[in-house]
Structure 1
């Protein structure tokens, strides 16, 4: 298992959320453009993200690292809500070959519209990630296309790729 260290986050207040018309949060493309793991390629999908047995569990950084990064990244984004209601999310998810601990791939994702404060983490991005993963592993779309689509705008990724 890889050893992870706390990564430096963008300067305080330098990142700004984008929002869709439906008020879904999107990361700042300058701070969080997404970053991919060089260990995952189109050629090795069966041995990495598409293998049975949990690829993401084996590469996920420990909470001792991500907890500190989440607090620092909240300052980067000016996030002032409860961190219990926000997810420290991979812009390009681990199940799509996103880098596990590159600051360019991590952001404090605030609650979705209508989510009740104190209700814990809940976001609409997760099912999109799973559908993209299924499409990549069934060779309906390429890994690169899925990575680009989700990093650009997760709310339109399925439509962009003809998967909706």
Structure 2
């Protein structure tokens, strides 16, 4: 009986770990990322680098909440509780990501190792590097949209 219980717990652990890992990176066929073409390297100091810029372009909560529910189903997540996800911009608004294009939004898990909170830390780091001129806008956009976890390891850890 104890052996069966241990096997069950181990199997449950493996299954839940794989489910969490599946959402850590977006499915690039559904969420390839999308930019705001009006934001360029030459105008970042008067757009994204201006304090409060993202508040001026962020889509309304009713839009992102509705999209989050749809995308949770589209992604096939077993956990369908919207509170367990942040509808996140793959390419952040702070580096000129498209605010409302579904191709730039995905339901990012809050409850996994590589969660929305960690990505937020990376987003702020890239924002600072772009605005300081250390990393180009295009390079930051490319890196975060290709694999934000590897980009986090490069710049944050």
Aligned partners of 2:86, 2:93: CA distance in 1, in Å? 14
Aligned partners of 1:111, 1:158: CA distance in 2, in Å? 16
Aligned partners of 2:32, 2:20: CA distance in 1, in Å? 12
* RMSD between aligned residues: 2.4
1:13-56 CA distances to partner (integer Å, 9 max, x unpaired)?
xxxx894xxx870001111111000121101001111012x010
Indicate yes or no: 2:70 matched with 1:72: yes
- Rg: which structure is higher? 2
TM-score normalised by the chain length of structure 1: 0.76
SS at 1:88's partner residue?
strand
Contact in 2 for aligned 1:132/1:158 (Cα 8 Å):
no
1:102-128 CA distances to partner (integer Å, 9 max, x unpaired)?
11101001134369xxxxx85311100
Unaligned runs of 5+ residues in structure 2 are 1-18
Residue 108 of structure 1 is matched in structure 2 by 107
Q: Which moved more, 1:139-148 or 1:71-80?
A: 71-80
Residue 143 of structure 1 is matched in structure 2 by 137
Residue 48 of structure 2 is matched in structure 1 by 49
Structure 1 runs (4+) greater than 3 angstroms displaced:
none
TM-score normalised by the chain length of structure 2: 0.79
Aligned partners of 1:158, 1:113: CA distance in 2, in Å? 15
More helix by share: 2
SS at 1:108's partner residue?
strand
